Copies of this chain bind each other. A is one copy, B any other.
Amino acid sequence: MKASSSKHPVTLEDCRHRILIVDDHPIFRKGIAMLLEHEHDIIICGEAETAAEALGLVERHEFELVIADISLKDINGIELVKSLKVLKPHLPVLVLSMHDESLYAERALRAGARGYLMKQAPPDQVVAAIRHVLSGELYLSAAANLLMLNSFVTGRDSNSKSSVEKLSDRELEIFELLGQGRGTSMIAHDLRLSVKTVEAHRSHIKTKLGIHTAPELVRAAVEWVTRRTGRGD
């Protein structure tokens, strides 16, 4: 719970767009700050490392935009977007993720985000995205745009790409935790769910992925996670 301060002057905020950054990497938050240093009509007046922290800040202060990462410590960034939508339906959220667009862009928008951008994006694109979202527009990177169009053309969201994409948000979240070696009761505790619910999700995941046994499920999850975060070993 860090205060909404830093070295930023918080006095003249009336005329500036107030932004909250949610990311568990301090250096990355610094990067965003530097990016917006010379945008004098924009001010970063809040930083949060976890979703819980972010929700607390949003409750107590007024922001015009939230920039959120997908990978947070406590809960999934997608879930954070949903929670924010409940708390402040009109507060726009720009999702910045280091992951590929293909998996999370659509989920983020469905959850209520107003934009999706990869962290690999060049700085001017990031600024552009922020301005777009601030002005009420939607922002998607070129790649994400293409994907959206594709899923419009081909049919509904039922694109059968890697079959992991058939998982619902909740299922994917649990799948990731499984891949990190978390047990059922651990996951239930993390997500504040009943063990029974987690079991049900596991069962659904197995069905969707065509897996028949528990160890196979864990194996699939571990391999998926290491492949996604790996990118090298």
Q: Interface of A with B (CB < 8 Å)? A: 24-35, 37, 70-72, 75-79, 98-99, 119-123, 126, 178-183, 186, 213-216, 218-220, 222-223, 226-227, 229-233
Q: Which residues of B contact A231 (CB under 8 A)?
A: 71, 233
| Residue pair B26, A27 in contact (C-beta under 8 Å) | no
**A-B CB contact pairs (8 Å), 19 listed:** A25-B28, A26-B121, A27-B119, A28-B119, A30-B32, A30-B34, A30-B35, A33-B34, A79-B232, A178-B215, A181-B215, A181-B216, A181-B218, A182-B215, A183-B214, A218-B218, A223-B226, A227-B233, A233-B233
Which residues of B have CB within 8 Å of A76?
232-233
This chain: copies in complex: 2
Set of chain B residues within 8 Å of A215, measured between Cβ atoms: 178, 181-183, 186, 218
Q: A17 to chain B: closest CB distance in Å? A: 18
Measured in the bound complex, the distance between the Cα atoms of B75 and A34 in whole Å is 28
CB–CB A226/B226 < 8 A: yes
Chain B residue at minimal CB-CB distance from A126: B27
Q: A215-B183, A222-B222 are in contact. Are A29 and B31 (CB under 8 A)?
A: yes
Chain B residues, CB < 8 A from A78: 232
Whole-angstrom distance from the CB of A182 to the nearest CB of chain B?
6
Q: For A29, what are the chain B residues with a Cβ–Cβ distance below 8 Å?
A: 31
Closest to A119 in B: B25
Contact B219 A123 (CB under 8 A): no
Across the interface, A218 reaches (CB within 8 A) one of B25, B219, B226, namely B219
Shortest Cβ distance from A131 into chain B, in angstroms? 16
Residues of B within 8 A of A121 (CB): 26
- Cα of A227 to Cα of B34 in the assembled complex, Å: 32
- Chain B residues, Cβ within 8 Å of A99: 229
When distances are taken between beta carbons in the complex, the residues of chain B under 8 Å from A178 are: 215
| Known interface pairs A183-B214, A222-B219; A120-B227 also in contact (CB < 8 Å) | no
Q: Do the beta carbons of A218 and B222 come within 8 Å of each other?
A: yes
Contact among B27, B35, B98, B120 for A35, CB-based, below 8 A: B27
- Do A219 and B180 touch (CB < 8 A)? yes
Q: Can you name the residue of chain B whose Cβ is closest to the Cβ of A179?
A: B219
